[in-house]
Homo-oligomer: A and B are copies of this chain.
Amino acid sequence: MLSVANVLGRLLMVFSLTYLLPIICSLIYRDGTFLTFLVSQVACLAAGGLMTLATRGFQRALKPRDGFMLVTLAWLLTATIATFPLLLHLQLSFTDAFFEAMSGMTTTGATVMIHLDVLPPSINLWRHELNWIGGMGIIVLAVAILPLLGVGGMQLMRAEVPGPIKGAKLTARIADTAVVLWGVYLTITIACMLSLKVAGMGWLDAICHAFSTLSLGGFSTRDGSIGEFDSPLIETVLILFMTLAALNFATHFAVWRERSLRPFWLDGEARAVVGLLVLSCVGCALYLWEAGTYGGFLTALRFASFNLVSLATDCGFVSTDYGVWPAFVPFWMLFLSSFTASSGSTGGGIKMFRTLILVKQSSRELTRLLHPSLAAPVTIGGIVIPNGVVVAILGFLFLYFMSIVTLTFLLIFGGLDFISAFTAVIACINNAGPGLGVVGPGTNYASLTDYEIWVLSFTMLLGRLEVFSLLVLFTPQFWRK
C-alpha cells in the first residue's frame, strides 16, 4: 500500500508540470488566473513531494493487486488535485469541480459548467489540457497496464505491443512503448492544431480543440461546442482527426515507421471502425433526409457525419441539437459510442477488438449447435484467440451491461427520467459525453443533482478503467491478506 503511495507521490510531482501551460497562458492573456494556477502547482508539487518522501522506504516491485489500486487512485487523485484551480477561481461546488476534472481526466468531456465562452482563457485551456493528459494516461493504460493485469481479454494485446525493442526488460519496454506512442500522440495533436488554425480557428481555440480531439475528450471552449464555429471546413478537419484518434496509436506508429498506409489496411479494427462510420454516416443522412429533418441530402450528410463520428468515436463534440432528430439516429449514435473505437486509442467503451471477437464467438456458438463435436477456435486475422480470452471478454461484456443496468437504476431511483438516466450512463461509461433528454446535446450536465453527479462521476471512472479494474476493489478477496 505504501509502495503504491510512493508511486502516486511521484506521479503528482510530474502532474504539477501540467500547470505550466495555463500559467503561461495567464501571463499572455492577463486573465487574472496567474496566482490561482501558481498556488495550485505549488500545492500539487508539495503534496506529491511529501507523499514520496514519507514513503521513500517502500519502493518495491508492484504486484497485480497494487496495479489495480494504483490506476484507480491515479485517476482519483489527479482529478481531485485538478479541481484546485476550478475551486479557487470559480464558484463551483466541490461536487461539480470534481465531476468536471474527472470528466476531463477520463476524456468523457461531459461538463457542468456554463458560460464557457466568457471563462478566463487559462481556465478553458486547463480543462482541455486535462483531456489531453487524460489521453496520455489512457494510452499507457491500454498498451501497458491493462494487458499486464489481464483485464477483460486485454491480455491478448500483450503480444501486439509494437515495442521497437522487443525482448528488453519489461518495465523498460513499457516505458519505451509509452514514450513512442506519446510521440505519435503529440505529433498528430500538433498536426490537428495547425489544421484547425488554417481552417479558421484562433490559436487558443485551435490548441484547445486539438487537445480535446486527439484525446477524444470533447471539451469545447464554447457552450454551443463546434456548432458555434459554423464551418464545414473545421468540421471536416475534426472528423478526420477524431477518426485518427479512434484508431490504435500503435498502427499510426507503424504507418510512420513504414512510410506506408498499409498498416491501416492490415489493422482489422481500423477497417471495421472506418467502415462502420462511413456506412452509418450515409445511412443516417439518408434517414434524416427521408424524414425531412433536413431539406437537402448534403446538409443532412454534413450534420449527420459530424455529430455521428463525434459521438461514435467517444469524442462528444456537437454541431447541432441532434436531440430533436428522429430518435433512431441519436440512439444509433449512442449505440456506436459503445464499441466504435480501437484498442490502443483514446476512445472508450467495449472497443472494436472485443466486438469482433464477440461476433465471431456468437457465430461459433451457433455452429456448435449444429455440429456439437466441432470445436473450431475463434480466430482474428488468422490468429487463434485462446478460450480464456473469449471467456474474459464475455465476462467483461456481462459486467459492462450489468453496470449500465445498475447505474441507470441508481439514477431513476433518485427520480431522474428513464431516457436521461439511461443515456447519461451510456454516455459516461463510454466516456463519450452528451446523452439525451436533460443531458442532451442542446444542454449539459449542469441541471443534475449532486447525487446524480456523483453517480455519473463514478460511471466515468468505471468505464475508463474498463469496469474490472475498479470493481475488483469492491471484492472481499481484494482486501484479504
Contact = CB atoms under 8 A, between A and B. Distances in A.
Interface of A: 64-65, 68, 149-151, 287, 326-328, 331-332, 335, 358, 361-363, 365-372, 387, 390-392, 394-395, 397-399, 401-402, 405, 408-409, 412-413, 415, 417-419, 468, 471-472, 475, 477-478
B418 A472 contact: no
Nearest to A421: B327
A163 to B, nearest CB: 22
Contact of A412 (B327, B358, B412, B478): B327
B326 A415 contact: yes
22 contacts: A68-B369, A150-B369, A287-B413, A327-B412, A328-B409, A328-B412, A332-B409, A361-B398, A362-B395, A365-B395, A365-B468, A366-B468, A366-B471, A366-B472, A366-B475, A366-B477, A369-B472, A371-B477, A387-B391, A391-B394, A394-B394, A418-B419
Among A371, A387, A392, A418, chain B packs the most CB atoms within 10 A around the CB of A418
B367 A477 contact: yes
Nearest to A406: B335
A387 B419 CA distance: 37
A395 B328 contact: no
A367 to B, nearest CB: 5
Contacts of A398: 358, 361-362, 394, 397
A203 to B, nearest CB: 42
Contacts of A419: 418-419
A366 B387 CA distance: 17
A289 to B, nearest CB: 15
Binding site secondary structure of chain A: helix
Contact of A405 (B68, B328, B335): B335
Nearest to A395: B365
Nearest to A410: B328
A88 to B, nearest CB: 38
A370 B472 contact: yes
Given A391-B394, A419-B419, A370 B405 contact: no
Contacts of A332: 409
A394 B370 CA distance: 18
Contacts of A408: 331
Nearest to A418: B327
B151 A369 contact: yes
- Closest 10 interchain pairs by CB? A394-B394, A365-B395, A328-B412, A328-B413, A327-B412, A327-B418, A366-B475, A366-B472, A369-B472, A367-B477
A260 to B, nearest CB: 36
B417 A327 contact: yes
A335 to B, nearest CB: 7
A413 B287 CA distance: 9
Contacts of A405: 335
Contacts of A417: 327
Contacts of A363: 475
A392 B68 CA distance: 29
